[in-house]
Amino acid sequence: MEIDTFDRKILQSIQKDCGMSIESLGEQVGLSRNAVWRRVKALEEHGFVKHKVAILEPQKLGLDLQVFVQIRTSEHNPDWRKRLAQTVQALPQIQSVHRMTGDLDYLIMARVANMAEYDQLYQRLTKNIHMSDVSASFVMESLKETTEIPVSLL
């Protein structure tokens, strides 16, 4: 599917607020309600829209601590990677896990209530998975945090 400027405007708008009405979205992008509805459905069907979600405020839920966990390992076999994937999938505090290039093997981002909850997360992570080194960095201040992907309007 080729996307045009209207599709890009739609994608840009729904990233900011996917709950807005089709009428409001149409006004924002300059199309009729029916035209916007058809385009949104096509964008969804062709996989441009992965999920529609609500972004929650972690502090309101008592999750005041954001932590980045850096993992180094000497094991890179399929069984180890499968155990890691199963372990992180089972831990709801973990929001993202990335296999990295360079000195770092994996980077995990998690939200926890406090240091005691981080310690529980650490213990569950290291229980079944051998790691050469695990270290954590705790966020003191977030200058920018977004789920929006840049959508070029050109």
User: Which CATH number covers residue 70?
Assistant: 3.30.70.920
- My answer on whether 88 and 126 are in the same domain is yes
Tell me the pLDDT tens digit for each residue of 128-140.
Answer: 899 999 999 999 9
Distance CA 12, CA 39 (A): 13
* Within-domain flag for 146: no
Tell me the pLDDT tens digit for each residue of 111-127.
Answer: 999 999 999 999 999 99
Q: Which structural domain range is residue 89 located in? A: 58-138
Task: Provide mean pLDDT across the span 42-50.
Answer: 97
Q: Is the dihedral of CA 133, 134, 138, 143 positive or negative?
A: positive
Q: What whole-number percentage of the chain has pLDDT above 70?
A: 99
Distance CA 29, CA 8 (A): 9
- My answer on whether 129 and 63 are in the same domain is yes
* Within-domain flag for 16: yes
Q: What whole-number percentage of the chain has pLDDT above 90?
A: 95
* Within-domain flag for 51: no
- My answer on whether 75 and 129 are in the same domain is yes
* Within-domain flag for 53: no
How high is the pLDDT of residue 154? Answer: 58
Band of the pLDDT at 95, cuts 50, 70, 90? very high
